[in-house]
Amino acid sequence: MPEKSFFVDIDCFQQKKHGQNTFGDCFKSKRFTDEGRLLAVLSDGLGSGIKANILATMTATMILKFIEEGKDILKATEVIMNSLPVCQVRKISYSTFSAFECSDEGEIKIVEEGNPDFIHLRNGVVLEHKPKIVTSKTFTNRHMHLYSFKLEPEDRLIFCSDGVTQSGMGTNEYKLGWRREGLIDFVEAELRRNPAISSRHLAQEIVKEAIRKEPEHQAKDDVSALVLYFRQPRKLLIFTGPPYRQDRDAEYSKIFDDFDGRKAIVGGTTANLIARELGREITTEKYNKGMLPACSHMDGVDLITEGILTLTKVLEYLNEGYDRWPDDAAGRLIELLLDSDVIDFMIGSKLNQAHYDPDLPLELEIRKNVVKQLEKILSGRYIKKVNLKFI
Amino acid sequence: MEESGKILLELCFGTTCFVMGASKLQEIEQYIPPQYKNKVEVKAHTCLDLCKNATYMKAPFVKLDGEIISEATVEKIIQAIERKING
């Protein structure tokens, strides 16, 4: 990666309308690591529940697929705008959307149709952009707002569904809802308090605050916030498993120690060999949390956990997707993973024969396979850049 | 024996030991009879690296003042502590 390379950290947090069992907003995104670009769409389906979910999912999926297939973002979204049906009862579009395409250099193209205008914050100040407006040829009341500009390091963009800006509407305090102004004040205050907050946490805070505006804290609509943060990448290195060749333990331990970013060791034997090579002490917590072995500590390392059981659990949790990760070693590792943008794995290929003892009460997965599945979900669903190195 | 004069009980929380029963040993301090409690120091390890060596028999392993106990259970460990203290 070139020295000056930046990272587009995006994440979306959503809350369903109270009483519904499915989301009526849909967020889809895809990162093309090789091409250094990222696509994202947030769509809000009319109404709530299953119908809204289908409309929003269809819209978001189609826009993403079109752009992915090489169509220009303007062309892709125009096709969607012109073809989205109108609700016979309400005479309004079946779904609204915000879509953007952003390069690793910060060149961004944004298209919005019907969603609240995005917010662009630079050095604590909101920048207003004049959109180019494209009107639909088939539905004259439909307009797309197009924007194209270059992001500066530390810039933030906030996209949301109207569930955020209209939260609290009708209450004495927020007769017209929280509104864009209220959201801006909140985000500015959050950034003053925590200037380096990740997109994931900021999106969560926005949604939680919006719901606090509602009577009895029950969401009256689907509430989604999508945050983009253009910043220096947060790097994480995970060393898991002893190297195939023992005579290279020292070399790899040094690479691990010299890494410029956060570090985690996943595996007891691995932790021991690094401690030995670097001449450091390990202390292990005496009590486990949950069903996994306890974490350990060593100077210069952010987290040390057991190996394959923890990795398998991490994969299980990520597949499940919790609002709050369980308070065990796997939950702690996930916090570290999701708070990072670029994740490097150093995977030792040495096998521990004892793990293949048929008397073991459960079958242990093979490390290599679990890490490969982790790579898939981290780069797919969680939009991370993941590099694997087998050693 | 520890510098403090206590017996050192080392637990292994490596994968093999953990699945073979070490998960049940983490509460060992509760089962040490009151009269021996302040005579035993319990320490956990990421891995004692014993499962890789077939000569040590079966996991879970613990070390009591450096002496390896294989297929360790709470009962086995308590008996070993009693033997150590009472000679």
Give pLDDT, residue B3: 61
Mutation target among A270, A303, A306 for the B interface, most CBs of B within 10 A:
A306
Q: Please give the residue of chain B at the shortest CA–CA distance from A271.
A: B46
Do A31 and A147 lie in one domain? The reply is yes
* Domain match, A213 and A273 both: no
pLDDT digits (tens, 9 = 90+) for A260-310: 999 999 999 999 999 999 999 999 998 777 889 999 999 999 999 999 999
A192 and A47, same domain (yes or no): yes
Q: Which chain B residues contact residue A271 at CB under 8 A?
A: 46-47
Residue B70 pLDDT > 70:
yes
* CB-CB under 8 Å, B26 with A354: no
- Contact across the interface for B26 and A287, Cβ inside 8 Å: yes
Interface confidence, given as ipTM, is 0.84
Cβ separation A294–B13 shorter than 8 A: yes
Whether residue A2 is contained in a domain is answered as no
Q: What's residue A274's pLDDT?
A: 97
Do A138 and A257 belong together in one domain? Answer: no
Query: What does the alpha-carbon distance between residue A96 and residue A44 come to, in Å, rounded to a whole number?
Result: 5
A87-134 pLDDT, tens per residue? 777 777 688 999 999 999 999 999 999 999 999 999 999 999 999 999
Distance in Å, alpha carbon of A269 to nearest chain B alpha carbon: 6
Q: Is the pLDDT of residue A69 over 90?
A: no
Task: Kindly state whether residues A369 and A383 are assigned to the same domain.
Answer: yes
Report the alpha-carbon distance of residue A147 to residue A344 in Å, rounded: 34
Pairwise CA distance, residues A195 & A339, whole Å: 15
Nearest residue of chain B to residue A311 (CA atoms): B15
- Rounded to whole angstroms, the Cα distance separating A37 from A34 reads 8
Contact flag A288-B14 (C-beta cutoff 8 Å): no
Q: Indicate whether B56 pLDDT > 80.
A: no
Last residue of a domain, one of A175, A200, A231: A231
- Choose among A166, A162, A136, A207: nearest CA to A44: A162
Question: Are residues A183 and A306 both part of a single domain?
Answer: no
Least confidently predicted of A156-160, A269-273, B56-60: B56-60
Confidence of residue A137 (pLDDT cuts 50, 70, 90): confident
CATH (domain of A48) = 3.60.40.10
> Based on the number of CB atoms within 10 Å of its own CB, is B55 exposed (0-12), middle (13-18) or buried (19 or more)?
exposed
Q: Say what the alpha-carbon torsion angle A295, A296, A297, A302 is, to the nearest 10 degrees.
A: -40
Tens digits of residue pLDDT in A228-264: 999 999 999 999 999 999 999 999 999 999 999 999 9
- The answer to whether residues A316 and A209 belong to one domain is no
Tell me how far CA of residue A264 lies from CA of A44, A249, A287, A302, in angstroms: 38, 16, 20, 6
For residue A176, being part of any structural domain is answered with yes
Give the number of A-B residue pairs with CB atoms closer than 8 Å.
80
Q: What is the pLDDT of residues A318-328, one digit of tens each?
A: 999 887 899 99
| Mean pLDDT computed over B11-39 | 91
Spatial CA neighbour of A120 closest among A67, A36, A383, A112: A112
CB–CB contact B16 A269 (8 Å): no
Unique residue bearing structure tokens 């197009």: A146
Domain interval for residue A59: 7-231
| Domains located in chain B, CATH noted | 7-86 (3.40.30.10)
Give dist(CA A334, CA A325) in Å, integer.
8
Shared-domain flag, residues A171 and A241: no
- Looking at the fold, whether A211 and A277 belong to one and the same domain comes out as no
CA distance B70 to B63: 9
Going by pLDDT thresholds of 50, 70 and 90, the confidence category of residue A361 is confident
d(CA A9, CA A342): 10
Q: Is residue A1 part of a domain?
A: no
List residues bridging with A238 in a β-sheet.
A264, A345
User: Is position A11 within any domain?
Assistant: yes
Is residue A153, in this structure, part of any structural domain at all? yes
Per-residue DSSP letters for A109-155?
EEEEEBSPPPEEEETTEEEP-PPEEEE-SS-TT-EEEEEEEEPPTT-
CB contact under 8 A, A269 and B47: yes
Instruction: Answer yes or no: is pLDDT of A66 > 50.
Output: yes
pLDDT over 60 at A1, yes or no: no
B 48-77 residues with CB < 8 A to A: 49, 51-52, 54, 58-59
Residue of B nearest to A294 (CA): B13
Please indicate whether, in this complex, the C-beta atoms of A352 and B15 are within 8 angstroms of each other.
yes
DSSP per-residue string spanning A317-381 = HHHH--SS--SSHHHHHHHHHHT-SEEEEEE-----GGGG-TTSSSPPPPHHHHHHHHHHHHHHT
Asked if residue A372 is part of any domain, the answer here is yes
- Does A369 lie in the same domain as A242? yes
Domain boundary among the residues A213, A231, A249 is at A231
Domain end marker among A186, A202, A231:
A231
A284 vs B contacts (CB less than 8 Å): 13, 43-46
User: Considering its fold, how many domains does chain A have in total?
Assistant: 2
Q: Which residues of A touch B42 (CB under 8 A)?
A: 286
Show Cβ contacts of residue A361 under 8 Å, excluding neighbours closer than 6 positions.
B19, B20
pLDDT for A2: 44
Are both A339 and A202 inside the same structural domain? no
In this structure, are A227 and A281 located in the same domain? no
